[in-house]
Amino acid sequence: MKPLDVLIVGCGPIGIACGLEAQKNGLDYLIIEKGCLVNSIYNYPVQMRFFSSSDLLEIDQIPFISKEVKPNRDEALEYYRRIVSSNNLHVNLFEGVTQVEKTADVFEVITTKDVYFARKVIIATGFYDIPNKIGVKGESLPKVAHYYKDPHFYAHQNVAVIGASNSAVDAALECYRKGARVTMIVRGDSIGRRVKYWVKPDIENRISEGSIKAYFNSEVAEITENFIRIQTPDGSVTLDNDYVLALTGYEPNFEFLESIGIQLSEDDSRKPFYNEETMETNLPGLYLAGVICGGMETHKWFIENSRIHAKQIVNHIKSKPS
C-alpha cells in the first residue's frame, strides 16, 4: 500500500485547515475523526455564542458570514460543514485512532476500522473530550454531567453548577432563565476573569440580587441522589439537589500523546514538546496543531491564533525531501 503523504487526526476547524492546506499543495492526505464533523463544536451548548467575531474564525480566507458579529454554534457548524463539502475534503468520520507507531520513515496508524500508512502525521485533536473530574463521592451518578447542552431539561429543578468559567456561567444563566433553581459552587473568590465581557455583569448582578445563589471559596465534598454537601468558609452546607453540572474544564488526551512517544513537560502545564516554527514534535514527521499545543493551558490556543499552524506544518513538509 502506498503511504499517504499526510494523515490528520481530528476534524475540528484546525484539522480542516490542515486538510485544505495539504490539498492545495498537492499532498495525498486523509482526515480521521472519532466523532462527527467538528465534533467539539457540535457538543457545545445549543445556544452558545462564540467569544470571537466570525472573521477570526475563518480558515483559509474563506468568508464566514453570520447574522451578528459574534456567530453562534449553528452558524459555525454550517460554515465548517460547507467548507468540507464544497472542497471535497477527504474525511473519515466516526473512526477513532487507537495507535500510532513509526517504522523507518513511515507511520502506521491503527484505527477502530482500519490500518493506514503515512509519511507524516498531524495531531489536531483539541481538548474537549476529557473532562476534569472533581474527584468526589457520587461524581459517577447519572445526575452528574460534565457537559451542558440545553437548559430546558433543567426547568423547575434544583441545579448545582460547579465552576466559574464561560461554560459554567452560561449554563447557570440559561438554566435560571428556564426556571431552574440554580446554585453555583466556585473554588475561587469570584467569577472567572476570562468570562465573556458582556456576560460577566449579568451573572454578577443575578448573584448580587439573589436570583442565583453562589458559594465562593467552596468545594463539593459529596454528591448523593437527593442532595450535595459542600465545604464553605463557614463550614459544611447541605443543599437539596436534582442535577449537578460539573463544568470544571477539560484536558487533552495526554495518555494518547504519551503512547505515541511525544514528550510532555514535567510541570503542571504538561505542555507537549514541539518546534514553534514548524510545529514538529520530538518525533520527526509528527506534528501538533491547534489547542492541543498548550497542554493544560487550554486558554492559550484558539481557532483564531492557531489556524496558522496548517501553513507552518505544510510548508515544513514541502521543504523536506519526500
Mean pLDDT of 287-307: 92
Say if residue 277's pLDDT is above 80.
yes
Polymer length in residues for the chain: 322
Per-residue confidence (pLDDT) for residue 129, from 0 to 100: 83
User: What is the CATH topology of the domain spanning 133-246?
Assistant: FAD/NAD(P)-binding domain (3.50.50)
Say if residue 266's pLDDT is above 80.
yes
Strand order in the sheet with 243-246: 144-145, 243-246, 158-162, 181-185, 213-215
Say if residue 322's pLDDT is above 70.
no
Percent of the chain at pLDDT above 90?
Answer: 90
**Domain 4-130+250-319: which CATH number of 3.40.50.300, 3.50.50.60, 3.40.50.720, 3.40.50.850:** 3.50.50.60
Per-residue confidence (pLDDT) for residue 299, from 0 to 100: 83
* Tens-digit pLDDT profile for residues 127-149: 888 899 999 999 999 999 999 99
Domain boundaries, the chain: 4-130+250-319, 133-246
Mean pLDDT of 109-130: 95
Mean pLDDT of 173-190: 97
Distance (Å, whole) CA 120 – CA 304 = 24
Q: In which band, very low, low, confident or very high, does the pLDDT at 1 lie, cut at 50, 70 and 90?
A: confident
CA torsion angle 299 300 303 309 (round to 10): -150
Count the Cβ atoms, other than its own, within 10 Å of residue 53: 15
Mean pLDDT of 7-13: 97
Say if residue 22's pLDDT is above 80.
yes
Q: What is the mean pLDDT of the chain?
A: 95
Say if residue 320's pLDDT is above 70.
yes
* Tens-digit pLDDT profile for residues 154-179: 999 999 999 999 999 999 999 999 99
Do the two domains 4-130+250-319 and 133-246 of this chain adopt the same fold? yes
Per-residue confidence (pLDDT) for residue 321, from 0 to 100: 67
pTM listed for this prediction:
0.91
Per-residue confidence (pLDDT) for residue 133, from 0 to 100: 92
